[in-house]
Amino acid sequence: MPTLSALSPEVLAKYQPVIGLEVHVQLLTNSKAFCGCLNRYGGEPNTHTCPTCLGLPGALPVLNRRAVEFAVLAARAIGCEIRETSIFSRKNYFYPDSPKGYQISQFDKPIAAHGSITIPDADGHPKRIGITRLHLEEDAGKSLHDGFPDSSSRTYIDLNRCGTPLVEIVSEPDLRTPDEAFEYLTRLKEILLYTGVSDCNMEEGSLRCDANVSVMLRSDWNERGAAAFGTKAEVKNVNSFRYIRSALEYEIDRQIGILEDGGRVTQESRLWNNAEGRTFSMRSKEAAHDYRYFPEPDLPPLVVGPDWQAEILGSLPELPEARRARMIEQYSLSPQDAATLTATRAFADGFEIAAKAAKNPRRVAAILTSELTPRLRAQNLDQADSPVSLAGLVLAADLAESGDLSSKQIKQLLDSAFSSNEDFPAVYEREKPQQISDTSAIQAIVDEVIIANPKQVDQYRGGKKTVAAFFVGQAMRLSKGQANPALLNSLVTRKLDALGPL
Ligand SMILES: [Zn+2]
């Protein structure tokens, strides 16, 4: 819900928003970060727990090797340098859904730092957004405030999520508009999905975002730069990129309004209420020293040496940006088609398999983007649930390429495939819309039409050449729409001309 600013464009233009994002991403490991419990969304509450993730006295954490590998993959995919020796720290705070009373995280020596993501700015030019750091940590459990008969008076705790491995990715305050924040998140999610380290499912909380936002006078920015950054507020745990954009638009307006009234922005955490389209103060924001970080005494330093790093990075896939560039080159695609086709790794893989098997990759791209994708969207289906297989896609593309099927016939067959939930080859075999390309067969039809319409024949012979279209139409109807149009046209004209002028 975009907020409609009450401030005039002139007032808004005086200020420069400054935005930084912190993104928490759950890793798709089988077990939790520091114990063998199942790492799985949902489940009967408090069943995926053990003494370690419950924080019982004497239980010791053991680091999950796969979580480290995923963190390294994610970090490299966003251009970070990997720190060979990183340190786990305790971040101390009390929270009902965190029974240990602290979170195992990384503080001054995170596993990775100094990355970047490139986004398009408002003019479409590439803009580099710095990534300060990526560190490993564990998730907390969940407080359930509703869904129970006595939810009005009680809060329930589910600790299944306790100890789920996370990476936190912190951007530099390089973002200047809510749209840039949206772009950054979209690209970050796309990259992470390509690496396969997370499902990035925002509804299930696998990807969560906090946004830091402040405003400053543009004149101050021009004179003093980052030294003149304003006081920031943090918008916590917004669960969709669109909501984050709306929350940032609201916050920017709110802060400018305060400054225009001569007030001061408070450093605090705020929550976005989407129904009301505004943010609310939650609590004053802690500073790092409030957490009393200290090195985790139960875990040794984490060492990811060159050999292990090389082994992990061997499975780093080609990333979306590079893949788009290559596919544009290799298959002569438009940038827009390349963007659509690389939306997910599976989709791009599917396209490339079909493109290599088909006669013309651009036909495959056209059918995939203009025919299949809209039909999938209309039925709310994922690519994986498409009734049309890759082999079906290749057949459709090849039949279009050879001219055996018109684009209209392809559309009709795809409609049948989707309505009967059958693959394209099966529908094609059954309905086989034939094109009659046999000269003698079409010739026979043309003869029949000419004999049946002597009046129109005389008109043509009298010089009214446009009557040819009438014969083509009649013959096409007789052929049940199956005559090859080009052949039919030429046979009709040839036959009529052969009769000579009146
Ligand atoms: Zn456990």
Report pLDDT digits (tens) over 219-273: 988 888 888 899 999 998 788 999 999 999 999 999 999 999 999 999 999 999 9
Average pLDDT value for the chain: 92
Share of the chain above pLDDT 90, in %: 78
In degrees and rounded to multiples of 5, residue 190 shows phi and psi of: -60, -45
Whole-number Å distance, alpha carbon 106 to ligand 1 midpoint, is 20
Q: How many A from CA of 240 to the centre of ligand 1?
A: 29
Distances (CA, A) of 22 to 169, 363, 454: 6, 41, 81
CA of 163 to the centre of ligand 1 (A): 7
- Give CA–CA dist 140/112, Å, rounded: 22
Residue 327 alpha carbon to ligand 1 centre in Å? 44
Q: How far is the CA of 138 from the centre of ligand 1 (A)?
A: 11
Interval 466-480 mean pLDDT: 88
What confidence tens digit (pLDDT) does each residue in 408-458 have? 789 999 999 999 999 999 999 988 777 777 888 899 999 999 999 999 999
18: CB partners within 8 A, 6+ apart: 173, 175, 176, 213, 214, 215, 216, 229, 230, 232
Centroid of ligand 1 to alpha carbon of 35 (angstroms): 5
Q: Give me ligand 1 centre to Cα 247, in Å.
A: 35
Say what angle helices 439-452 and 468-478 make with each other, to 10 degrees: 120
Q: Which tokens sit at 369?
A: 């983007």
Comparing 40-49, 274-283, 314-323, which segment has the lowest mean pLDDT?
A: 274-283
Distance 49 CA to ligand 1 centre (A): 4
Q: How many CA atoms lie within 13 A of 306 on its CB side?
A: 0
Write the single-letter amino acid at 94. Answer: F
Q: Give the residue among 144, 114, 146, 141 at the shortest CA–CA distance from 128.
A: 114
What are the distances in angstroms from CA 297 to CA 88, 90, 301? 9, 9, 10
Cα dihedral 280, 282, 286, 291 sign: negative
